[in-house]
Amino acid sequence: MIHTNQLTFQYNKNEPVFSFPNITLNPQENLLVLGKSGIGKTTLLHLLAGLLKPASGNVSINDTDINHLNSGQLDVFRGKHIGLVFQKKHAIPALNVFENLQARLFFSKKKVKTEVIDELLKQLDLYNVKYSKINKLSEGQLQRLGIASAVIHQPKVILADEPTSSLDDKNCNIVIKLLIEQTQKNKANLIVITHDARIKPFFQNTIAL
């Protein structure tokens, strides 16, 4: 469950103020936010993830007002309840696929059995590259690893920033389907922010910025 109320944001005093429409998502509802670049999509996503502080308004996730948490509490909250998917970079190159997921769980302070990790890797067709280095993965594998990292710790909210923009049509379909499927499995909310109109049919709720 996620709810925003009259969110505004300003990078600097002399720069324009971004104001965002209110978002209310009930349990297991997904949302697609469409908009051209430069319009503040990523800013909205970062506000939702608590990576930026709003100028006014507030964000509450599962009845927790994240703007009232101090930075330490916010780190813990983000680690436990939010999963982020990015466009291109998804993992730490020094670690292999399995170690990346272990690191993810370590920082979330969550324990998940190896069988569960293996099961997720199988679902995302990554099991054969479990011990591969990150730089040996293809673009599609990388994006699927991004999804794995975003859901392995069973978050309440999954936030995806242009998850399909750099993928071809085939991989785009696979990735968005997997993203929705994993969200449902975790009984979480999914918010995808993109300018990629190809994924529009997969969402009932859409807002345009």
Partner 1 sequence: MNIWKISIQNMKSKPLYTFLSVFILSLSIILLLGIKQLKKSFEYQMENNLGDIDMVIGAKGSPLQLVLASVLHIDNPTGNIVYQDAKNIAKNPLIKSAVPISYGDNYKGFRIVGTSDTFTSFYHAELKAGHRVKKSMEVVLGASVAKQLGLQIGDTILSAHGLIKNSIEVHEEKLTVVGILKPTFKVIDRLIITSLESVWDVHNHDKEHKHEDNHEAHHEAEDREITSLLVSFRSPRAFLTMPRKINEQTNMQAALPKFELERLYQYTGIGLQTITAIAYVILIISGIILFSSLYKMVKERSFDLAILRTYGASNFQLIKIVAYEGCIISFTALFLAFIFIKTGFIFIFKIMNVEDKLYMLQALSCEDLLNVAGLVFIITIVSILMAVYPILKMDISTILSHEK
Give me 204's structure tokens.
């009932």
Site string for partner 1, 37-76 (x = CB under 8 A): -----xx--x--x-xx-------------------x--xx
Instruction: Write phi, then psi, for 187 (nearest 5 degrees).
Output: 50, 45
Instruction: Write phi, then psi, for 78 (nearest 5 degrees).
Output: -60, -45
Binders of partner 1 among 74-93, rule CB under 8 A? 75-76, 78-80, 82, 84, 86-93
Nearer to partner 1 by C-beta: 32 or 105?
Answer: 105
Q: Smallest distance from the beta carbon of 135 to partner 1, in angstroms?
A: 10
Nearer to partner 1 by C-beta: 59 or 91?
Answer: 91
Using the structure block, give the residue that is written with the tokens 């509490």: 73
Q: Smallest distance from the beta carbon of 107 to partner 1, in angstroms?
A: 4
Nearer to partner 1 by C-beta: 64 or 205?
Answer: 64
Site string for partner 1, 93-132 (x = CB under 8 A): xxx---x--xxxxxxxx-----------------------
CA distances from 160 to 37, 44, 94, 169 (A): 15, 11, 23, 18
Binders of partner 1 among 143-172, rule CB under 8 A? 149, 161-162
Residues near 59 by beta carbon (within 8 Å), at least 6 away in sequence: 2, 3, 4, 7, 47, 48, 50, 65, 66, 67
Nearer to partner 1 by C-beta: 167 or 201?
Answer: 167
What CA–CA distance (Å, rounded) separates 90 from 55? 29
Nearer to partner 1 by C-beta: 17 or 177?
Answer: 17
192, with CB counted inside 10 A (0-12, 13-18, 19+), is: buried
Using the structure block, give the residue that is written with the tokens 């319009």: 39
Q: Smallest distance from the beta carbon of 25 to partner 1, in angstroms?
A: 20
Nearer to partner 1 by C-beta: 41 or 178?
Answer: 41
Using the structure block, give the residue that is written with the tokens 């690191």: 103
What CA–CA distance (Å, rounded) separates 147 from 89? 11
Contact positions vs partner 1 (CB under 8 A): 42-43, 46, 49, 51-52, 72, 75-76, 78-80, 82, 84, 86-95, 99, 102-109, 149, 161-162
